[in-house]
Structure 1
Amino acid sequence: MDLVTLPFLLTCLAIAVVPGPSVAVIIDQSLRAGRGAGLATIAGNTTGLLFWAVASVLGLTALLRTSEIAFVALKVVGAVYLCWLGVQSLRRSRRHEGDLPATAPTRTGGRLAAYRAGVLANLSNPKAAALYLALLPQFIPAQENVLHATAILAGVQMSISSLWYVVLVTVVAAVRRFLSRPVVRARIDQISGLFLVGLGVRMITLGRAAA
């Protein structure tokens, strides 16, 4: 498969391992509702990537790249969503400092809610759109069929990111009982809440060069 080169694989791996909105939401959902919710969030994130891949083929991401209004609108929606998740996490930290038993981790919303969280985190992230607009075309030879090449490269990128996220969810699930102890969970919620709010604020300041 000539399209899938070592530089492309390394680039996809680097993008996957760098913490961002999707990683934060996946870990947050895994801590709140367990491994199943984490996997559902990964599925939601992958659905978002699939949307951007199709949009890239149809040229819709070019509109996002060239339209200041579309770019700002998506950026604001993403920032508000991340800040909302962060505030929710900070509010939970106050409850965890109360009498939540260590043997009863919080389960809120279920897997469908986790799936939706993954979809929203991805679709509201302008960097996800830029990934398929700016990255994939660089690895598509001029003589290749765009649809065929995009499908292959996008499939590889989704597989790499999903596998990495599954590793994260598995690790979180393995230590979740310890992490769900009231004092520990309260601190984690505080840290993740501040991190999500920070990501939201950073997204507001995101420029086209960064995207």
Structure 2
Amino acid sequence: MLDASIITVLLIVFVGQASPGPATLSIAATSMGQSRGHGVALAFGIITGSLIWSGSAAMGLAALMMHFEWALVLLKYVGGAYLLWLGYRSWMSSRGVASVDLALNPVQVSSYQRSYWKGFAIHITNPKAIMMFASLYSFGLPAGATSQTVWVIFVLVAIQSALVNLGYAFLFSTPSMRKGYLKLKRPLDRLVAVFFGAAGSKMLLSSSVQN
């Protein structure tokens, strides 16, 4: 039976993973605008990034990295610039015309491999991810927690990340969601562009990584 502290850690991570953000918004837009396969590929990229940050935190590397603020500042600028680029791409996409039937005339803007690396880049350049995992493993674990407890949390977080992100990919690639996307493509693309632009600008303009 899971310890209460482990359940608390999983709940906190779940809220962070399931709440709207660059990762979930990218999965939604990709799954609706391209295909389920592209959304799944992007989700796997995000899952890979999550595993890297979670594993690093479990081994203590994340806590060490947080002591070197220059590394997180550099990561912040890279991530902010990448989000601005995604915002620009989404805004340019909003100027196009949606296909009447995505099933017959799909939007072929990227390969599955590119979708995977896009998801990976979104998550691996997000300094909030490493700070969240570092905080959880540093302060969320009960006193005297064993290495076995740490790795149980790592495995459960990995499973939870896969379920959440792949779940979003399957949810937003359903016919009803794709039909809704066709009707609202322009405002949705612009909403994504504004969100990415705001998130990227905030990351670049913040005075410190903790902000």
Cα deviation, residue 142, structure 1: 4.0
Cα deviation, residue 5, structure 1: 3.3
Q: Please identify, of 52-61 and 64-73, the stretch whose mean Cα deviation from structure 2 is larger.
A: 52-61
Aligned to 2:115: 114
Q: What secondary structure, in the 3-state scheme, does the structure 2 residue paired with 1:5 have?
A: helix
Q: What secondary structure, in the 3-state scheme, does the structure 1 residue paired with 2:107 have?
A: coil
Cα deviation, residue 59, structure 1: 3.1
Cα deviation, residue 2, structure 1: 4.1
Seen in structure 2, the aligned counterparts of structure 1 residues 20 and 64 have a Cα distance that, compared at 3 Å, is farther
Q: Which amino acid aligns with 1:152?
A: V
Report whether the alignment pairs 1:7 with 2:8: yes
TM-score of the aligned structures, taking structure 2 as reference length = 0.86
Q: Structure 1, unaligned stretches of length 5 or more? A: none
Aligned to 1:172: 172
The number of equivalent residue pairs is 205
Q: Structure 2, unaligned stretches of length 5 or more? A: none
Q: Which amino acid aligns with 1:194?
A: V
Aligned to 2:62: 61
Cα deviation, residue 205, structure 1: 4.0
Alignment partners' CA distance in 2, 1:6 and 1:143: 17
What is the CA deviation profile of residues 83-117 of structure 1, one whole-angstrom value per residue up to 9, with x for unaligned ones? 10110010111122xxx432123122121111101
TM-score of the aligned structures, taking structure 1 as reference length = 0.86
Task: Give me the identity figure in percent.
Answer: 26
Aligned to 2:184: 184
Aligned to 1:158: 158
Alignment partners' CA distance in 1, 2:90 and 2:200: 14
Aligned to 2:202: 202
Alignment partners' CA distance in 1, 2:114 and 2:180: 21
Seen in structure 2, the aligned counterparts of structure 1 residues 107 and 179 have a Cα distance that, compared at 3 Å, is farther
What is the CA deviation profile of residues 47-106 of structure 1, one whole-angstrom value per residue up to 9, with x for unaligned ones? 11121123224433224312221111000000011110110010111122xxx4321231
Seen in structure 2, the aligned counterparts of structure 1 residues 118 and 150 have a Cα distance that, compared at 3 Å, is farther
Alignment partners' CA distance in 2, 1:93 and 1:34: 17
